[in-house]
Every structure is written in structure tokens, then in C-alpha cells.
Amino acid sequence: MLLDLEARWENLRRTPPEGPRGGHGTDDLLSRQRVYQAFHSKLVAYNNRYKPPHMPERLLNTPDRLGKWCQRVRNIFLQVECDPQAIYPAHLLEKAYQWADRMAARMNKACVSRPISSGTVRSAIAGLDAVSHWCDDLTRFSSEHRAAA
């Protein structure tokens, strides 16, 4: 699925370089290039077939943005939940959790809890729901805090 390939590429871009001196070795660079090529070729194919074209989500750096993104992605997975060919979007969930973890650190809040996954689309939906609800709580807390100030 395009969204999981996109998330895999984004997660990999944020992964620190491997190697004894923190640099990218040839194997690491080739691996990263293959991941990007897989995403890019799927993106081009999708955009040639469907309108409007898919635009990667760039900023998920606020609770409101991340929560809404999780809900949109959750709704997509609700549509394919019963499809036996639907894959568990591990990279997509990791993307959501990484954004939430960065946000929690920046806002000095507890990280979102990660439910135990069964590796099914249903558990991915539950994970996206967990991040979305966590974001809603942060947004509500921020609004109440601003109103009290």
C-alpha cells in the first residue's frame, strides 16, 4: 500500500546513519535508495491512475494535525479491513507513534501507549485510534489551559 511505503521512507529518513562513525555505508545507502525507489514508483503509478494526486503529508507536528491524519488513515483501513489481501501497515503505525513521541517530548507529556498488536488491520485501526484519542486529549488540555490563563 502506498501509505505504508511512504511511511517506511519517511521513517528511514529520520533514522540515524548506521556504521562505526555514524556515517552511511554503501549497503545502508543502497538500502535507503531501494526503499525510496519503491515508494516513488508506487506514488507515480498511483498519481497517473487517480485524481487528485496523492501528496505526502508534510507536517504532523501538532496534536490537531496528527489526530486528523490518524483518523483519515484509520477510515481508509476500515474500508479494507475485511480484505484478506490487506497488509498490516507497520511502517505507517511507526510513523504515527514517532510523531506522537516527538510531540510528547516537546510538550513534556506522557507518550501515547502502544497497544499490543496482533499484526492485523484491526489492530492497526486500534493503534491509529489510540494515537488519535491521545491527540484529542492533548488538544483538549491545551484549549482548557489557554482558557484558564
Residue where the block lists cell 488513515: 73
Q: Are residues 80 and 130 in the same domain?
A: yes
Residue 88 shares a structural domain with residue 102 = yes
Domain shared by 66 and 103, yes or no: yes
What was the pLDDT predicted at 20? 58
pLDDT of 145: 59
Amino acid code (one letter) for 86:
A
Examine the domain organization and report whether 88 and 148 are in the same domain: yes
Q: Are residues 85 and 144 in the same domain?
A: yes
φ and ψ at residue 84, rounded to 5 degrees: -65, -15
Cell numbers placing 60: 504532523
pLDDT of res. 146: 61
Instruction: Give which of 142, 146, 148 is closest to 67, Cα–Cα.
Output: 142
Residue 57 has a pLDDT of 77
Give residue 6's domain range: 1-56
Pair (26, 95) in one structural domain:
no
Q: Give the pTM.
A: 0.83
46/65 same-domain check: no
Long-range contacts of 39-45 (CB under 8 A, 24+ apart): 39/2, 39/5, 39/6, 39/8, 39/9, 42/2, 42/5, 43/2, 43/5, 43/6
**Could you tell me what percent of the chain has a pLDDT over 70?**
89
Phi-psi domain of 29 (left: phi exceeds 0; alpha: psi -120 through 50; beta: other): alpha
- Which residues does the chain have with pLDDT short of 70? 17-24, 142-149
Count of the separate structural domains present in the chain: 2
